[in-house]
Amino acid sequence: MANKSIDHAITAKSLTTAASDPTHAGILSFMRRKYTKELKGVEAVVWGIPFDAATSNRPGARFGPQAIRRASAIFDNDPQYPFQRDLFADMATIDYGDCLLDYGNHARTPQTIEREASKILKSGAYLLTLGGDHFVTYPILRAHAALHGPLALVQFDAHQDTWPDEKGRIDHGAFVGRAAREGLIDVERSIQIGIRTHAPEDCGIRIVYGYELEEMRAEEIADTIIRHVDNRPAYLTFDIDCLDPAFAPGTGTPVAGGPSSAKILSVLRKLGALHIAGSDVVEVAPAYDHADLTAIAGSTIAMYMLGLRAEWLAERRG
């Protein structure tokens, strides 16, 4: 114990060192990364957006960032499975904390999120966001598109989120349609995986329905995504309700008939060929969770996103 410390999230002297906090104790940043607003020298940022006022069914995703951070404590900074590496040894990563939003003035929410996301992206860091409901992806896409141009949206979800929209409306079920109309995404290179509902329009986006997913192997799913996106910079968004409620009950709009967490994690592991410009995990609502099932799934998916980024950086450094 002499060489160990606690509360690594605030005591860490380096952004690439491993933590030694007991799993059951210590300040709960994401994977024990240092809490800081300092972006100099940072290569990856984890950021929370505790917002759920756009939810159409069960609220509670505003507590998602807290739940995901808590569940991530089980990742004890050993080489992370299945990446066989300490993700942070060569990727300076911080927990940027949460976005400060005025709960009484939702009209300002999109601009507040976009402004803060743009600040992070201008530093050159990769941004992984923890939601919050799925509306938060819209202003994040605006920030990324300003930097990269139209992105290929890779969306794991039970819902298309392309419902009719009105200017200024705050709705987690309409953000994809709005992003398509604004040219934030390249619809010809975008793809939705796990869809188990119908919306009035598809905006020209490729859909892999839940029943198709059930018949496909993980390798086939990943290959379908990679071939469709091609070499377009991609934004990876994961609505936790993509998973069957057996694996993610803690969400606002659960839909039966989805894939297992094991299958989808296998798919994610095979997406290393994509140029993923940014990512998020959304719609974790811990009030409906059981034994942290959903939070554990969400934190694992977020860890995989960082793992893919760590490998991407390693390949470019040779």
CATH architecture, domain defined by 8-317: 3-Layer(aba) Sandwich (3.40)
Q: How far is it, in rounded angstroms, from Cα 187 to Cα 160?
A: 13
What the block records as the tokens of 236 is 């990876």
Question: Is 275 flagged in the annotation as binding?
Answer: no
Which residue would you say has higher pLDDT here, 82 or 316?
82
Question: Is 161 flagged in the annotation as binding?
Answer: yes
Question: Is 102 flagged in the annotation as binding?
Answer: no
Write down the domain spans for the chain: 8-317
Residue 197 burial class via C-beta count within 10 angstroms: exposed 0-12, middle 13-18, buried 19 and up: middle
* pLDDT for 124: 97
What's the chain's average pLDDT? 95
Let me know: does 206 contact 228? Beta carbons within 8 Å.
yes
Question: Is 241 flagged in the annotation as binding?
Answer: yes
Q: How far is it, in rounded angstroms, from Cα 132 to Cα 135?
A: 8
SS3 279: strand
Percent of the chain whose predicted confidence (pLDDT) is above 90: 87
pLDDT band at 184 (very low <50, low <70, confident <90, very high): very high
Helix, strand, coil share of the chain (percent; to 5): 40, 15, 45
Question: Is 228 flagged in the annotation as binding?
Answer: no
DSSP character for 17? P
Q: What are phi and psi of 71, to 5 degrees?
A: -70, -25
